[in-house]
Structure 1
Amino acid sequence: MKKTITLLVAGLFAVTSFTTLNAQDCKTKLSLFAENAKAKNYGEAETQLNELRKDCPTISSALYAYGERIYKNKIKTGTDKKAAAEELIQLYKDRIANVPAKTKKGDILGKIGTAMVDYKIGSVKSQYDVFDQAFKEDLANFTNPKSLYQYFELYYGMYTAGNQGVQLEDLIQKFEELTEKFESESERLAKTKNELIAKKDAGTELTSKEKRKEKIADTNIKAIAIFSGNMESLVEKVSTCETLIPLFRKNFDANRSNSLWLKRAAGRLDAKGCDEDPLFVELVEAVDALEPSANSKRYLSGIYERKGDVAKAEEYLRQSLSMETDPIKKARLLYKVATKAKKRGQKGKARKYYLEAVKNNPSLGGAYLNIARLYASSVNQCGNDEFSKRAGYWKAAEMARKAGQVDPSLKSIASRTVNSYMKSAPSKSDVFSKGYKGGESIPLNCWIGGSVRVPNL
């Protein structure tokens, strides 16, 4: 009996030692593999990757992170890109299965969906389903702007195909959901940018980690601007006042107690410029009665302004601005108020609210760009002669320049706008003939007020 127990213990010890040895072997192999991957010795690294995936699939998320580099390089340099993409997709799937605690599922599913779309793998429905899983199961980590756009683009294609059961109301709902997602990502990135801007303004140099953080934020801000704009362009074809009003009217009674539906419907009509229709008023009154918000008060302000009741319009606007406490959301609200005023030709009011928007969100370059356009549209009202009128373009260029400085997504358009305004402004010879040397101040005698400084041309 004693002998049997001794053999049993010895056997258990042997198993334990073997397991420990295997774990150590896995770590050693992983270390060698990582070094090859870092050194871009991808041929040797791929062989090691295959061994590790077979023998040590749960060892570390690093296995899959470095593996991603290998397959992305294979896609870039290889001849059979689709086959390499399929290998990459399987790697992503294995990562989800083998190291779930160290995997952002929404992000990885988004990468799978994008690879499927980019390399034409699977049906439209199977591609869509991967994105839909990311959206439903891990929205917080489903953030890549391109993947979010592809998700909607596929759904739009299913709608236009007419054989997938996607109705117009489904498409509009999906659009609103993704618009809200893009907005939340924009808010998150704006907060990151503003923290870094404040640090630089205080004279503190950014660390290498912060510089990388800023670069990532800039890249994603620009991508969101592009892909959310592309999404808007797609839905614009089928989302008009003529299609939306009957659609929302049909579903209004069934959704009178659904505040989310009411807010989205009112927001869509407002965005499309359908806010003069009686349905918009009904939607706004319904949502304000059910769940008052900064937006519902803003809508009411606009309604009463159109009725000519300035006092009531201003009261609702004050309520709207006082209800929104988050600075990034408040900036968006102020931007919308300013843009409405701009469309109505209320230039002074528009500038006021654009500047307030920038105070709340210093990286909101669109506000500066719109102020630049307001200035440029007013130059003929702002001078006593041709020179002083055209000098207003310097002021417009100054605002456009600020737009590109604070918002990377606007850098290109801001640069083109600055160049255009500088061409319209007085030339070097004009400045010389007036006897200016640069630095002199020219008053702007119009709604713009203040003055503009003659640049050193």
Structure 2
Amino acid sequence: MKIKILSSILGLILSVSAFGAQTEGNGNFQEKLASFETQGGKYGIDSVKCITELSLYQEAFKQWKKSNYKSAIVNEFIPHWRWVFLNCPIASENTYVNGLKIISYYLKKATNDEEKNAYLDTLMMIHEARIKYFPNHYKTGRSQIGSLKGKMGIDLFMLAPERCEKAYNILKESVEMEGSKSSTAALVYYFRATIKMVKSGKADEELIIDTYDEISSIVDQNLIKYKDKAKYLSQWENVKGNINNTFEPYATCDVLVKIYSKKFEANPSDIVLLNKITKILKKKKCTKSDLFFNSTEALYNAEPTPESAMLMGKMNIEKEAYKDAAKYYLNAVDMIEDPLEKADIYSDLGKIYYKLNDYITARSYARKAIALNPADGMSYILIGDLYAASASKCGTNELTKKVAYWAAVDKYYQAKRVDAELTELANKRISTYSKHFPQMDVIFFHDLQEGASFTVECWINETTTVRAAK
């Protein structure tokens, strides 16, 4: 008896699918849907029968819903739902919402591939019909096509992962349409479909990286958008973790460099490609590769920006090519208007010239940084370090070879005054270099007194206070 009922129901479903939906490759959903007509307005040509059939199936559907979609009553009302679906397709959007529930119920009970494919094709046709007849959200009036395609792609991938290419294309279209408004589920399944495409040999590994880059951008936008809304923030953080975990096997520097080296060699002046390469390699901390350096340099030469100039500067610092690093930092500072950003670059330039043993220039940039950002304690630390490093070179006797430490310690005190977070660092230096102050007997020998003013000469030329070693 059960088999007989199921066969009867399958016959009804197949009649809905009679437009040609047998397998993925046979028939076009749009062609099938083109056969639907909406003559006669909302309730079709026979409005009385439409309203009657609509009422019959909806009342029974409510009872089925109360059974948690398990009751056999679905077998009784499906003919009424089918009539509404075929004859008055714009009567209610719930025809499609409920239809997806109904067909999913039978899909789970399918006993062979033929039945499964028939139900699945019907499910896809219901999705397409909803998109065709209800392209806009009933409340907002805005397009919901992208969102509905997302749901369609998720269903197809979950129920038939072997149809990953079709699911991927649907989900890709959804994400392209929705952008930052894409649902978290659509993004997760879009990435899963991408992985499946590569594993099944239908795409290269590069697609995984491109899709990851696309999805990551959307996730990051939403993390910023919902930073003050804990519930939504948690959802997006979970998506980020899910995507990153899935991507991990493909995120090694060796894989990334291998994939993008070929593309870089083929198109070394493609700005879009260069941006993509530098972004993904930087994100995955593959910045020590030749590819990263070469692509960043090419990007800077093609389209100089403060960011690319700074990046080139940092890479040259890592290579200890300090003169080249200084050149890029100077180019960057010329392109920046924000005073605090300029201050940061000047501070970095000070450190670079310290490495080049050009203490006068190093101090000059540190002072420029402080002028733009008086709270820049690290630049005071740098000047102190410059003075301490010069002490023995700036004197000829036991006193003058140590007076630079007075000036150095003065700068460390200034550092912690303007930036309390530097207190520990500054105190360590104060403790270290206070021990290098001249001894009390040396101070007396040179006819000086503690607390008196003293001008440190040499290149330093700072007035400080006489102090004995501690």
TM-score (normalised: structure 1): 0.49
Q: Identify the structure with bigger relative contact order (alpha carbons < 8 Å, sequence gap 6+).
A: 1
- More helix per residue: 1
TM-score (normalised: structure 2): 0.48
